[in-house]
Amino acid sequence: MKALFKPAAGPGLDLVDRPEPVTGAGEVKIRVLRTGICGTDLHIESWDHWAAGAIDAPLVPGHEFCGEVVEIGDGVRDVAVGDLVSGEGHVVCGTCRNCRAGRRHLCIRTSSVGVNRDGAFAEYVVIPESNVWVHHTRVDPDLGAIFDPFGNAVHTALSFPLVGEDVLITGAGPIGLMAAAVCRHVGARYVVITDVSPYRLDLARRMGVDLALDVRAESIASAQKQLGMVEGFDVALEMSGHPTALPEVLANLNHGGRIAMLGLPAEPIEIDWAKVVTHMITIKGIYGREMFETWYAMSALLTAGLQIGEVITHRFPATEWADAFAAARSGECGKVVLDWTVF
């Protein structure tokens, strides 16, 4: 099969022929139709400090995908050949305290597809049946390929009640954009998103936010004035990881405000902990998706009419992967999708 492969530690990937993965007991082989490119994939390709410490090459990366089941292993019960599926990228142990308690997203021994084991930047990928999400309602494979980041958006957005609330989202990357669409769909009063990319702010406006704020030119406080708010935002979703974002969020929250944090900070953040205490602020860390409550919510939201397709702005055949990675790295994009049916 064709696969994007990192043969050894160092920058770059190669599109090469690799052996097709073997389907073991309890596993499912999937013919990959589409893959999304994630920030993690960019780190792996460039081989930055994080990748050097987290990745053991050789490796086939890629964890956002949609495909068709072509083979099932012994003991597979609920997945059938021909099913259109996406994959939950966190393979869990099943025996730690959290797994046994039904909190699999908190597994202490998580192994990640495309990071700790071969992934989906290939014509075929094998994952455990327990990680397969069957699309019982047919979806466009492009959309199926971004269920992983869509799940991050849904998990973050639905961490707190939203109906009638004023929501601030810091970071208009693809996950922030999808989260904004979720907040609007489920009944938030105002949805404000911030970024420094004119491209992504324009995309946010097309996806229905009330205000898309370039924080280089306008303050979050000014957004409150424009919307006639008097007590601050009720819910904030921190998607950027930028060190200035969380302090700005705190400065613009109502008493009892709630923050869901998905963005990974690249450096320490100084915040006013006294304000967190005296204003009774809740801060919740988010990593990945709840397995599988978030997946049920994702499918239900789409069935109920949520529209997120506009977040996919670029599509490339897998043979043009280098151009696709360049587009994703440029920031002048939403989600970038690779087509693996073109060989």
Per the annotation, the verdict on 282 as an active-site residue is no
What topology does CATH give the domain 2-145+307-339? Quinone Oxidoreductase; Chain A, domain 1 (3.90.180)
Q: What is residue 343's predicted lDDT score, i.e. its pLDDT?
A: 80
Q: Residue 339: name the closest of 144, 55, 158, 47 by CA.
A: 144
Per the annotation, the verdict on 40 as an active-site residue is yes
Q: What is residue 266's predicted lDDT score, i.e. its pLDDT?
A: 81
- DSSP label at 57? S
Of 23, 35, 43, 242, the catalytic one is 43
Q: Which residue has the tokens 């599926």?
A: 85
Of 23, 40, 156, 294, the catalytic one is 40
Q: List, for the chain, all residue ranges whose pLDDT scores fall below the cut of 50.
A: none
Q: What is residue 239's predicted lDDT score, i.e. its pLDDT?
A: 96
Domain ranges of the chain: 2-145+307-339, 155-285
Asked if residue 58 has a cis previous peptide bond (ω within 30° of 0), the answer is yes
pLDDT per position as a tens digit, 278-291: 999 999 999 999 99
pLDDT per position as a tens digit, 33-81: 999 999 999 999 999 999 999 999 999 999 999 999 999 999 999 999 9
* CATH code, residues 155-285: 3.40.50.720
Domains 2-145+307-339 and 155-285 share a fold: no
Rounded Cα gap, residues 285 and 270, in angstroms: 16
Rounded Cα gap, residues 258 and 12, in angstroms: 40
Q: Residue 220: name the closest of 199, 200, 190 by CA.
A: 190
